[in-house]
Amino acid sequence: MAKLDHPEITPEMNATIDDIIARHINAPGAVIPVLRMCQDVVGYLPVELIDYISKGLNIPKSDVYGVTTFYSLFSLTPKGRHKIRVCLGTACYVKGIKEVMHRIGNQYKIDDGETTEDRRFSLEAVRCVGACGLAPVLVVNQDTYGDITPEKVIGVLENYE
Amino acid sequence: MNQVRLELMLCGGTGCRASGSDPFKDALAAEITRRGLDDEVRVIETGCNGFCAVGPVMLVLPEDVFYQKLRPEHVAELVEEHIIKGRVVEKLLHKDPVSKKRIPLMHDIPFFSNQMFWAMRNKGYIDPEKIDEYIARDGYFGAARALTEMTPEEIIEEVKISGLRGRGGAGFPAGVKWDFASRAKSDTKYALCNADEGDPGAFMDRSILEADPHAVLEGMIICARAIGASQGYIYCRTEYPLALERLDLAINQAREYGLLGKDILGSGFDFDLEIYQGAGAFVCGEETALMRSIEGKRGMPRPRPPFPAHKGLFNQPTVLNNVETLANIGQIILHGGEHYASVGTETSKGTKVFAISGDVNNIGLVEVPMGISLRKMIYEIGGGIPKKRKFKAVQLGGPSGGCVPEHLLDTTVDFEEIAKVGAIMGSGGVIVMDDQTCMVDMARFFMDFIQEESCGKCTPCREGTRRILQIIDRICEGKGVPEDIKILEELSSVIKSSSLCGLGQTAPNPVLSTLQYFRDEYDAHVYEKRCPAKRCAALLEFKVDTEKCTKCGLCYKACPVDAVTWKKKEVAVIDVEKCIQCLSCFSACKFDAID
């Protein structure tokens, strides 16, 4: 199969992607796991990659694209080095996460779903991370911060360069 | 395994980990080794204990002493005092928010003593990563009985007798569902577990998976045997990494022990399981959408019938059960359906797990017998409302649920009783709201959620929820007109009666229940352009009330953009030009002095 032509996909990444596709070919329901694994490799899903997966799995491009845009896990645009996930579950909402979100947006000039120009942060509002006992909750990469307030949040984020 | 003098059951659930249980555990283990106590004391990391708000928490066995809010700097004192000298460390005990007293033993703490642990019977008592510990507490005994002593008909009969109803929300009798699937004729059938816990404010499934994953596997093995399935899937949401990790471990251990795979326990029955990770779509909690998602498609629901019991995953007969439902099955088979049915009300049997959160003192996970009142749950187990504020409403059942006001708090926990007051049992989210919550804003929050998560397949849900959101947005911005309320009611009834799946059919509930019980707040927004709870920024003046201001300066400290000017012994002033309307000053002010 022709190699992937994309500035952000290295030959090593390409090899890993080929391996993922080879392991899932003909498996029923493989699209979602393959997209997830490929996104873990590249960081997001550029259109060229979606194209490549569709050819590799022999599934119409429209189907793969349809799945990609349906699930919130998948992103067609690059993400920041640090992913800020703000929990917008009910408990966090009642406890004032809206103000926290507002504060982050104001400080780094990003809205929900956006990435800062220097690709330092991407901001995402997520639905309930299931840590309601700590509400309001902020997750940066894999680190969970409970009881977050507009006053504390910038201090926390400044630790991520 | 050597006998030890004390077992330190440290909670390693998501909540406690986020509060710092890992550094505490390392410090504790190091200190125990340093003092040469390795042969006498064992530290065991358990799944979620349920009392997340005071984490990290630890239970000392066999004494049953409960410690909370543990930090690495407490380790030296804890080891010296409790472990070596046998004296309880007073300052680390739980302080009851009602009586203000420190309580040493877990079973005396009201948060725990009013609970009844069935589905969560092992939480905090076993290491979830060791199958032996599950077996030591009668784990897999139910599965063994079902596989070696019972026919599929007998299993189904036992589950029917128990009266167990689906814990995912709809409350359909589990035994009846199994019966349908067992009668369907096909060589291939599937047993599925719904662990796509999407309701904001509900985290019981995550907790059960983290604390006792084998209980869910056991339930699935019994279900598979009853309906004749040979393959199963657990559809778990990707937002729960720890639950996924522990499930994976549990499945591998069960395979090693011959509890999954070919010829389970020598019974000739084959069944194996796979985990399927969700990709972030709320609607995939709906059964037909979940099955489409496993098939690798967009997770959109389809009309029923045909019901999944006849045509489900890959068009084969399929049973889908929720995590909590399955966690009850092993014990029902072991102790009999009648034992389970001995607790509860006429139509709702056994126990139900609830996640209590929001404006309440004891936030966490509780399992209560059906029939308990909401008041008891919020005030005795939940410890009441913090900061001396007043109760306003409790939201039950997630985005499809409703808000229950003060005068209906004596409603009992029962599928039918809760439905009568305009809410639903749902998956068991209980979100308490105090008088600073704007009910119109809450309705907007839920509509925003539903509108975003609507899959777009059917028009009433796709377009209707968007229209409702636009109207509520307008009301919150002070542009509401009197007709809006009537349109909201009309739209709601159309969406309810004509949507394709449960998501749309219940979508207007938050609007209808707030309109029913908090009409005065809608009226204040529409007619007076005023938000009584002071949450809707567009309706606020951002002016300090000189009468109420105590000149404390808290608003000055809270403001992120220096829009507040304040000097000691002077009333604060807000510069409306500089103000970004972030409401930080409103949350900071303890005297309601900003309008």
The pLDDT tens digits of the residues spanning B286-305 come to: 999 999 999 999 999 999 99
Nearest CA in chain B to A105: B582
Sheet strand arrangement including B6-11: B41-46, B6-11, B58-61, B65-67
The reply to whether residue B281 touches residue A63, judged by beta carbons under 8 angstroms, is no
User: B135: which residues sit within 8 A by CB, 6+ positions away?
Assistant: none
Per the CB < 8 Å rule, is A131 touching B15? yes
Of chain B residues 440-469, which have a CB less than 8 A from chain A? Answer: 442, 445-446, 449, 453, 455
Assigned fold of B131-341: Rossmann fold (3.40.50)
- For tokens 């989210």, the residue is B429
The answer, yes or no, to whether residue B1 has pLDDT greater than 70, is no
Interface test with A, best of B431, B436, B583 (most A CBs within 10 A): B431
The residue to which tokens 């509400």 are assigned = A135
Mutate which of A94, A101, A138 to disrupt the B interface (most B C-beta within 10 Å)? A94
Residue with tokens 């907790």: B207
Instruction: Tell me the CB-side half-sphere exposure of residue B221, using CA atoms within 13 A.
Output: 33
CATH number for the domain spanning A108: value is 3.40.30.10
Q: What percent of chain B has pLDDT over 90?
A: 87
> What percent of chain B stands above pLDDT 70?
100
- Distance in angstroms (rounded) separating the CA atoms of residues B464 and B507: 10
Q: Do B279 and A74 make contact, defined as CB atoms within 8 angstroms?
A: yes
- Percent of chain A residues topping a pLDDT of 70: 99
Task: Answer yes or no: is A39 within a domain.
Answer: yes
Interface test with A, best of B246, B286, B297 (most A CBs within 10 A): B297
Q: How much is the pLDDT for B543?
A: 92
Task: Decide if B363 touches A, using CB distance below 8 A.
Answer: yes
- Is B52 in CB contact (< 8 Å) with chain A? yes
Looking at the fold, whether A56 and A107 belong to one and the same domain comes out as: no
Q: Which residues on neighbouring strands pair with residue B320, listed in sequence order?
A: B192
**Average pLDDT in the B149-162 region?**
97
A89 and A140 assigned to the same domain:
yes
Summarised one tens digit per residue, pLDDT across range B234-253 is 999 988 888 999 999 999 99
- The residues, ordered by sequence, that sit 6+ positions from B98 with a Cβ below 8 Å of its Cβ are B110, B383, B384
**Contact state of A150 with B560 under an 8 Å Cβ cutoff:** yes
Please tell me whether residues A153 and A112 are part of one structural domain.
yes
B428–A contact, CB cutoff 8 A: no
A65 and A95 both lie in a single domain:
no
Question: What homologous superfamily does CATH list for B6-111?
Answer: Glutaredoxin (3.40.30.10)
A82-87 β-sheet, strand order: A121-126, A82-87, A138-140, A143-145
CATH number of B439-527: 1.20.1440.230
Whether residue A90 lies inside any domain: the answer is yes
Could you please report the per-residue DSSP string of B449-481?
HHHHH--SSSHHHHHHHHHHHHHHHHHHTT---
Residues B431, B359: Cα–Cα separation, whole Å: 8
Q: A94 and A47, same structural domain? A: no
**Residue B558 contacts A, CB cutoff 8 Å:** yes
Contact between A127 and B449 using a beta-carbon 8 Å cutoff:
yes
User: Domain B351-434 has what CATH class?
Assistant: alpha beta
Q: Is B200 on the interface with A (CB under 8 A)?
A: yes
Cross-strand partners of B6: B41
- Answer whether B371's CB lies under 8 Å from B413's CB: yes
Is the CB of A130 less than 8 angstroms away from the CB of B240? yes
Contact status of B258 with chain A (Cβ, < 8 Å)? no
Once rounded to an integer, what is the mean pLDDT over residues A50-69?
A: 96
Calculate how close chain A gets to B295, using CA atoms only, in Å: 4
Residue A89 sits in the same domain as residue A65: no
Residue A146, domain member (yes or no):
yes
DSSP label at residue B307: P
Q: Please provide the average confidence, as pLDDT, over all residues in chain A.
A: 92
Distance from chain centroid for Cα B402: 16
* Inter-chain CB proximity A127 and B198 less than 8 Å: yes
Asked, for residue A5, whether it belongs to a domain, the answer is: no
Section B395-411 average pLDDT:
94
Considering the domain architecture, whether residues A88 and A117 belong to the same structural domain is answered as: yes
Tally the domains of chain A. 2
Based on its alpha-carbon atoms, the radius of gyration of chain B, rounded to whole angstroms, reads 26
Cα Rg, chain A, nearest whole Å:
18
> In the structure encoding, which two tokens stand for residue B139, read together?
């784990």
Q: How far apart are CA B52 and CA B181, in angstroms?
A: 38
Question: Distance (Å) from the C-alpha of residue B294 to the closest C-alpha of chain A?
Answer: 6
Q: Measured between alpha carbons, how far is B52 from B20 in angstroms, rounded to an integer?
A: 12
Helix (H, G, I), strand (E, B) or coil at B238: coil
Q: With a cut of 60, say whether residue A130 has pLDDT above it.
A: yes
**Contacts A–B by Cβ distance under 8 A:** 155
- Listed range (A52-61, A152-161, B101-110, B573-582) with the worst mean pLDDT: B573-582
Q: Is A145 helix (H, G, I), strand (E, B) or coil?
A: strand
Mean pLDDT of A81-94: 90
Domain boundaries, chain B: 6-111, 131-341, 351-434, 439-527, 541-595
Q: Which residues, 6 or more positions from B256, have their beta carbon under 8 angstroms from its beta carbon?
A: none
Contact check, Cβ <8 Å, A134/B433: no
Average pLDDT over every residue of B95-99: 89
pLDDT at B549 over 60: yes
**Do residues A131 and A66 both lie within one domain?**
no
Q: B392 CA to chain A: closest CA distance, Å?
A: 12
pLDDT category at B404 given cuts 50, 70, 90 is very high
For the cut 80, the answer to whether the pLDDT of residue B360 exceeds it is yes
Q: Would residue B53 be called left, alpha or beta, if left means φ above 0 and alpha means ψ between -120 and 50 degrees?
A: alpha
Task: Tell me yes or no: is domain B541-595 CATH 3.30.70.20.
Answer: yes
pLDDT interval class at B545 (50, 70, 90)? very high
Q: What is the reported pLDDT for B241? A: 87
The encoded tokens of residue A18 equal 């080929």
CA B578 to chain A, closest CA, distance in angstroms equals 13
Determine the pLDDT at residue A151: 85
Residue B249 CA to residue B243 CA, distance in Å, equals 10
Asked if residues B499 and B302 have their Cβ atoms less than 8 Å apart, the reply is no
Q: Which of B399, B466, B391 is nearest to B427 (CA)?
A: B399
Of B490, B591, B485, B493, nearest to B534 by C-alpha is: B591
Residue B216 to residues B95, B178, B187: CA-CA distances in angstroms? 34, 16, 25
State which amino acid sits at residue A24: H
Burial of B545 from C-beta contacts in 10 A (0-12 / 13-18 / 19+): middle
Q: Are A38 and A86 within one domain?
A: no
The pLDDT confidence band at residue B581, using thresholds 50, 70 and 90, is confident
Q: How far is A153 from chain B (nearest CA, A)?
A: 11
Q: Are residues A87 and A153 in the same domain?
A: yes
B15 in contact with A at a CB cutoff of 8 Å?
yes
Torsion angle (degrees, nearest 10) of CA B173, B178, B179, B185? 150
Residues 473-502 of B with CB under 8 A from A: none
ipTM surpasses 0.95: no
Rounded mean pLDDT of B354-378? Answer: 94
Q: pLDDT by residue (tens digit) across B119-152?
A: 999 998 999 999 999 999 999 999 999 999 999 9
Tokens standing for residue B525 = 């927004």
CA B526-B528-B529 angle, 5° bins: 65
Contact between B440 and B515 (Cβ < 8 Å) = no
Report if residue A64 sits inside a domain: yes
Residue of A nearest to B49 (CA): A133
- CA–CA distance, B318 with B291 (Å, rounded to integer): 9
Q: Residue A17 belongs to what domain range?
A: 11-70
Name every chain A residue with its beta carbon within 8 A of the beta carbon of B293: 32
pLDDT top residue among B579 and B328: B328
pLDDT at position A3 is 84
**Pair type for strands A138-140 and A82-87:** antiparallel
The answer to whether the CB atoms of A36 and B240 lie below 8 A apart is no
Q: Is the pTM of this model over 0.90?
A: yes
Q: For residue B5, how far is the Cα from the chain centroid?
A: 35
**A98 & A131 share domain:** yes
AA identity, residue B19: S
In this model, does residue B9 exceed pLDDT 60? yes
Among B11, B276, B291, B298, the residue to mutate for chain A (most A Cβ within 10 A): B298
Cα separation, B230 vs B158, in Å, equals 21
> Is B15's CB within 8 Å of A71's CB?
no
Does the pLDDT value for residue A1 go beyond 80?
Answer: no
Whether B44 contacts B204, CB under 8 Å:
no
Segment B100-117 shows an average pLDDT of: 94
Query: Please, are residues B525 and B478 in contact by the beta-carbon 8 Å criterion?
Result: yes
